Amino acid sequence: MGDNSWWVGVLTALTALGASWVTSRGNTNGARVQAEVAARVKEVADARDRRRDAYRDLSAQVNALSEVFWRMEVVDQASSASTRRTIIGEMQAASREAVSRVTKASRDVLLEGPADVAEKARELRRLAVDTHLLLIQLVDGSDEPRAAYNRAYRLFRDHHIRFIEAARSALEVR
C-alpha cells in the first residue's frame, strides 16, 4: 500500500483550509450582524432623542402660553376697568404669538409620534386655540365669557398634564 503520509498531509491541509473558511465566514457574518444591530440601536436612540426634543419643546411652549393665560390673576387684582382692559389686551396679543408657537411645536410632535402622544398633542393644541379664542372675547375680565375662559383654561392645563404623562410613557426604555 505505500506511504500514506502524503495523503494525510493533503487531508490535513484541506481540513485547515475548510476550517479557516468556515471561521472567516462566521466572523464576517458576526461582524455584519453586529454592524446592523449597532445601526439599529443608533436609529432608535436618534428617534428617541428627536421625540424627547419635540415633547420638551411643546411642553415649554405650552408653559409659555399658560403664563400668558395665568395673567388673569393680575386682571383680577387690577383696581380699574381700564387697567383690566389694558392687561387683557396685552394678554390677547401675547396669546396670539404663544398659540402660534404651540401650533408649530405640536406639529413636530405629530411628525415624531407615536400615535397616542400625537393625538394628545393635537388635542392640547385644540384646547390652546379654544382658550385663546375665549380670551379674545373678554373685554375687562368680569364679563360673561370669563366663566367659559376659566373652564377652558383648567381643561387646557389638565390636558397638558395628560400629554406629559403620555410623552413620559412613550420615552420609557422597555
Whether residue 1 is predicted with pLDDT greater than 90 in this model: the reply is no
Q: Write out pLDDT tens, residues 79-126.
A: 888 999 999 999 999 999 999 999 999 999 999 989 999 999 999 999
Assigned C-alpha cell, 72: 388673569
Cα–Cα distance measured from residue 34 to residue 140, given in angstroms and rounded to the nearest whole number: 66
CATH number belonging to domain 44-171: 1.20.1420
pLDDT score recorded for residue 25: 83
Phi, psi dihedrals of residue 2, rounded to the nearest 5°: 90, -170
Check: pTM over 0.85? Answer yes or no: no
Helices (runs of H) and strands (runs of E) counted in the chain: 5, 0
pLDDT-derived band at 16, boundaries 50, 70, 90: confident
DSSP SS3 for 41:
helix
pLDDT at 2: 56
